[in-house]
Amino acid sequence: MAWSLSSRASQLGPPAAWSLVRGVLPFLACVAVAILAQVILKPFLITTLGWDFAAKMIVDVGINIVLAVSLTLVNGFTGQFSIGHAAFMAVGGYTAAAIVYYGSYRIAGNPDLAGGVLSSMLVGREAPWFTPHDLLFLVAMLAGGVVAALCGYLVGLPSLRLKGDYLAIVTLGFGEIVRVLIQSQTGDVLYDPEEIAQTPAWKLAGSLGGSLGFSGLPFYTSFFWVYLLVLVTLLLAWRIKNSSYGRALISIREDEIASEAMGVDTTRFKIRAFVLSAFLAGCAGALFAHTVGVQLNAAELGFVKSFDIIIMVVLGGLGSISGAVIAAIILTILPEALRGVAEYRMVAYAVALIVMMLVRPKGLLGVHEVWERAAWDWLLGASKRKGAGR
């Protein structure tokens, strides 16, 4: 029985035009929803209700969702234990910050926020719908993602030879190297327009504030940018998970030898997972850098931040997108709600992680989504059925 995938596929496939609509429309819907969040939800929350803090939390939640879901691609799907995710955030954040900050100087002579309605969480600001500075921010965010993706490629390389704890140590080391390099090897932030105009770009790239942090960044990050990235990330992760590529990634985690034997080029897929994950984390870092109330500082993007993201992925379920989202929401809000005892957060996380590894090593939902029955099998007594096997 000769079976050809391509010939059968062309019989079963939908018309190209229709699939184009179905394929691209959700991305446009992401843009639309993000715009609505910015022009309706933002003024409603801040102006009508006066819930500034809630608005700030929603931004933080969004950024953490992107970080958790992007890490899910590597730790969850592919099963490569990376504990240096915050470093990609730092790389993306600093890259974007440098472009936005010095770019604004070159364009306008000052670093002030000059975005349109879609940028920034500030209210009562007269602004057109769209300005060239919005474009600058978008380019900066994507550039941050690309530079982080390059780093992801470099970190992905050792993952071809290292497994488990050893890979974890490499990623941890990478994270610390990034943090230390930014803190110790970058010069002060420049703020004299003339000096900036005369300094070559490569030198500006080294003036990132060092251990003092990158101060004076304009607050471009808004509901629009955050939720655009959140929705696109979710759509991306969801569609990858439900394609042959997602199955290939998860099969690496389940059994690398069998995966390779079934024709999955495990090397290539691990690298792909690292690159894509780092790209998204880099974009999230760019948003983080330009958030109201944040002073970008590499010291905050070290191991502790990486650990915050890991705990979201592990609690949610290694490979569960919805699990990562829920965990990101809870673990962003909880420390705020328990402000008084927030310093004990790391203790609680560590205990939670240990208990989790002992009781349910694959996370609360495992590889499944919240709405899938299999996610709850372990609670609903699947052990009975497991006993049927040998």
Partner 1 sequence: MTLKASAPILEVRNVSKTFGGLKAVTDFALELHKGDLQGLIGPNGAGKTTCFNLLTGVYRPDAGVGERIVLDGQSLVGLRPSRIAAQGLSRTFQNIRLFGELSVLDNVKLACHVRVTYSMLGGVLRTAGCLGQEAAITERAMELLRLFDLHDRAAEQGRHLPYGAQRRLEIARALATSPKVLLLDEPAAGMNPQEKVELAKLIRRVRDEFDVTILLIEHDMGLVMDICERITVLDYGRTIASGTPAHVQADPRVIQAYLGAVDDEPAPAAGGTHA
Q: Which residues make up the interface to partner 1 (CB under 8 A)?
A: 1-3, 5-6, 8-16, 18-20, 22-24, 235-236, 239-240, 243-248, 250-251, 254-255, 257-267, 272, 319, 362, 366-367, 374, 377, 382, 385-386, 388-390
- For 307, the token pair is 């650990």
User: Which of helix, strand or coil describes residue 303?
Assistant: helix
For partner 1, give the closer residue by CB, 5 or 358. 5
Name the amino acid, one letter, at 152: G
- Rounded to 5°, angle at Cα 80 from 79 and 85: 120
Nearest approach, Cβ of residue 150 and partner 1 (Å): 18
Cβ neighbours of residue 109 closer than 8 Å, sequence gap 6 or more: 193
| DSSP result, 53-100 | HHHHHHHHHHHHHHHHHHHIIIIIII------HHHHHHHHHHHHHHHH
For partner 1, give the closer residue by CB, 198 or 244. 244
Residues in the chain: 390
For partner 1, give the closer residue by CB, 104 or 322. 322
Nearest approach, Cβ of residue 331 and partner 1 (Å): 24
Nearest approach, Cβ of residue 177 and partner 1 (Å): 29
- Rounded to 5°, angle at Cα 236 from 234 and 238: 65
Of 38, 14, 7, 95, give the one whose Cα is nearest residue 229: 38
- For 195, the token pair is 């000096």
User: Which of helix, strand or coil describes residue 257?
Assistant: helix
Decide if 144 contacts 91 (C-beta within 8 A).
yes
Nearest approach, Cβ of residue 334 and partner 1 (Å): 28
Nearest approach, Cβ of residue 19 and partner 1 (Å): 4
Nearest approach, Cβ of residue 318 and partner 1 (Å): 9
Name the amino acid, one letter, at 294: V
Nearest approach, Cβ of residue 3 and partner 1 (Å): 6
Bridge partners (DSSP) of residue 127 are none
For partner 1, give the closer residue by CB, 203 or 239. 239
Question: Rounded to 5 degrees, what are φ and ψ at 61?
Answer: -60, -45
For partner 1, give the closer residue by CB, 85 or 253. 253
Nearest approach, Cβ of residue 79 and partner 1 (Å): 10
| DSSP result, 129-145 | S--HHHHHHHHHHHHHH
| DSSP result, 324-345 | HHHHHHHHHHHHHHTGGGGGGH
For partner 1, give the closer residue by CB, 160 or 353. 160
CA distance 356 to 361: 6
Bridge partners (DSSP) of residue 214 are 296
For partner 1, give the closer residue by CB, 19 or 185. 19
For partner 1, give the closer residue by CB, 188 or 255. 255
Nearest approach, Cβ of residue 381 and partner 1 (Å): 13
Nearest approach, Cβ of residue 89 and partner 1 (Å): 22
Q: Rg (Cα) of the chain, in Å, rounded?
A: 22
Q: How far is CA 207 from CA 76, 183, 311, in A?
A: 36, 11, 33
Tally of CB atoms within 10 A around 374? 12
For partner 1, give the closer residue by CB, 247 or 345. 247
For partner 1, give the closer residue by CB, 219 or 245. 245
